[in-house]
Copies of this chain bind each other. A is one copy, B any other.
């Protein structure tokens, strides 16, 4: 069995930020190939009865999350600035990421979007921000943003988000191993990679 790990993430998600920034070198060290699976938390949260991020709905959880994120980012050596708006819509970025999911630029693009949102306090819902990131990577920004807005791309992201729900995903980041093991949360990234690299005997 090929050693792969499905990486389900959302650009609006604070803990997804940490995993997007960390997964590359960790996966390489583990000998595991990452399958980038962008999706939208909004519809998943709606199915649980939440019309906003639970970090906004439950203020003590939200206050804790931002402090926890700052501590973790410092520990990982990652830049972090609390976004002036949360959550920002990751819709456009997710559509572009879906187009690039199998391309060599997906990691750089995902990290760029996450840095914009959680380190530089930029509005990732602004097409100008996404265009700037794609330009910076030497990619055909206008063509990609145009393709991102086409019906088949929109439908593909809807399908991927529905698939997340069907797989039992209820938050981000989430990781799924080839043998179907689900891990939730940046805290489980290392465990998920270890499982993907060496699944325990059943």
**Interface residue ranges, A against B (CB under 8 Å):** 48, 58, 60-61, 63-64, 67-68, 71, 75, 168-171, 182-185, 187-188, 191
Contacts and interface: CB of A to CB of B under 8 A. Distances in A.
Contact of A187 (B48, B63, B169, B187): B187
A184 B48 contact: no
Given A182-B67, A184-B68, A187-B187, A170 B48 contact: no
Contacts of A188: 68
Chain B CB count within 10 A is highest, among A58, A60, A171, A188, for A60
Nearest to A62: B170
A64 B187 contact: no
A60 B191 CA distance: 20
B187 A60 contact: no
B67 A58 contact: no
A61 B170 contact: yes
Nearest to A169: B60
Contact of A64 (B48, B64, B71, B182): B182
Contacts of A64: 168, 170, 182, 184
